[in-house]
Amino acid sequence: MVEANYDWTFVRIETDTGLTGLGECFFAPGLTAMIRDLRNVLIGQDPRHVDRLVRKLQRAASGAGSVSGIVYNAITGMEGALLDLVGRACGVPIWQLLGGKFRDEVRIYADCHAGVGLESVGPSLEHREPAWFQAVRAGLTEEHLHEPEASARRARQAVENGFDALKFDLDLDVESQEGQLRALTTDEIQLMAARMAAIRAAVGPGVDVALDCHWRYPLADVIRIAAALEPYGIFWLEDPVPPFNPRSFLTLRESTRVPLCTGENLFTRHGFRELIETQAVHFLSPDLQKMGGLLEGRRVADHAEMYDLLIAPHCIAGPIGLLASCHLCCAIPNFAVLEFHGQDVPFWDEILTGLPRPLIQGGRVRVPDTPGLGAELNEPVARGYGKPGEGWFTE
Ligand code: MG
């Protein structure tokens, strides 16, 4: 586990032939203990039968009631490691195992957060300050977090770094509601629109800008927010309403011309089914380090394609997870754009070897043609950022 902006959690699977596979999991409380408990399901098995092994893992967790939830964070990283291993064994890249490529490069969008982007949080979203964080924080101040001009500046920086698609968090302007819903004031909605206006003025019409609400607002507010944002041609409005009720998306969809997106907290194809079949949103954002695996991601993408929907995967991973996501993103016909959440992590690129650096160039990742994932973990560097108290694989 690497203590970065989040806990980047890696799974390595070793075989008696000497081949290994590497995967990355989305963070969760108790994640490494879950992985260690689940490994008994895989020990002694033939790793080539990936789908069957994933179902064995799923079955092993069934007594714990897991038709969804964070046990899939563990299973998903294990599936990624199996696919890396099988690709290496067969001498083909993971994208080949997923059906082949529609494109050689994957378009990446930069998550920008707000006027200031630097953050590091633990498995329960608690703020923390690892040594690297303290080093890069020098000179940064949170005081401009909410100012439209600070967001505009950050947008310009991302575009200068080659990105032509960005995302900002819209829900920072309003004090935290701790799970409560309340009606926003007109001033608060105008502040959101002013921040988007500043961003659009800074980057022009050629850059796509998505906005994220993190499930924070009741339907009435979101209808007003969407109306205020309509003039700015936004890419999508993400997780505008609480996540539990797909009908809210249907009502919202009928009320606005702003495209909608959700999916980062959904698990397996079953979690996406109703949203897809009702066309409740326009973009789906499965998290491919969490939702059940790259094969399951392929199934969701195929299902969505039948309903004319696009896939814009959520990704807050380190480079191992982002690269695994790229293998799926190049292999599906209805791919839109993939998230990158590491602009402020100074060592983001350093823990990977075997590919050109930086991995993201001109806002794109060129997907490798070499076997498996196509890259290795730079273990000495990664260990240097290892999370205190966590072991290093089986050590
Ligand atoms: Mg989001």
Q: What is the domain-level CATH number for residue 164?
A: 3.20.20.120
Helical (H) or strand (E) element with 376: strand 376-377
Q: Is residue 341 part of a domain?
A: yes
Task: Find the 24 Cα to ligand 1 centroid distance in Å.
Answer: 19
pLDDT given for residue 256 in this prediction: 97
pLDDT digits (tens, 9 = 90+) for 135-177: 777 666 666 677 889 999 999 999 999 999 999 999 876 665 5
Task: Find the 92 Cα to ligand 1 centroid distance in Å.
Answer: 33
Q: What percentage of the chain reaches a pLDDT higher than 90?
A: 85
Euclidean distance between CA atoms 211 and 171, whole angstroms = 9
Q: Is residue 326 part of a domain?
A: yes
Residue among 181, 188, 190, 187 nearest 220 (CA): 181
Q: How far is CA 132 from CA 16, 138, 141, 258, in A?
A: 37, 11, 16, 39
* Whether residue 44 is found in the same domain as residue 114: no
Alpha-helical runs (H) found in the chain: 31-42, 50-60, 71-90, 94-97, 131-137, 148-160, 186-203, 219-229, 246-255, 268-277, 294-305, 319-329, 379-384
Task: Find the 264 Cα to ligand 1 centroid distance in Å.
Answer: 7
Q: Is residue 215 part of a domain?
A: yes
Q: Is residue 243 part of a domain?
A: yes
* Whether residue 87 is found in the same domain as residue 200: no
* Whether residue 164 is found in the same domain as residue 27: no
* Whether residue 156 is found in the same domain as residue 57: no
Domain count, the chain: 2
Q: What is the domain-level CATH number for residue 67?
A: 3.30.390.10
Task: Find the 211 Cα to ligand 1 centroid distance in Å.
Answer: 9
Task: Find the 235 Cα to ligand 1 centroid distance in Å.
Answer: 13
* Whether residue 86 is found in the same domain as residue 160: no
Euclidean distance between CA atoms 114 and 172, whole angstroms = 8
pLDDT digits (tens, 9 = 90+) for 10-44: 999 999 999 999 999 999 999 999 999 999 999 99
Task: Find the 340 Cα to ligand 1 centroid distance in Å.
Answer: 12
Q: 45 is in which domain, residue-wise? A: 2-92+378-384
* Whether residue 292 is found in the same domain as residue 260: yes
Residues, Cβ < 5 Å to ion ligand 1: 212, 238
Task: Find the 212 Cα to ligand 1 centroid distance in Å.
Answer: 6
* Whether residue 233 is found in the same domain as residue 173: yes
Task: Find the 287 Cα to ligand 1 centroid distance in Å.
Answer: 10
Q: Is residue 107 part of a domain?
A: yes
Task: Find the 133 Cα to ligand 1 centroid distance in Å.
Answer: 22
pTM of the predicted model, to two decimals? 0.96
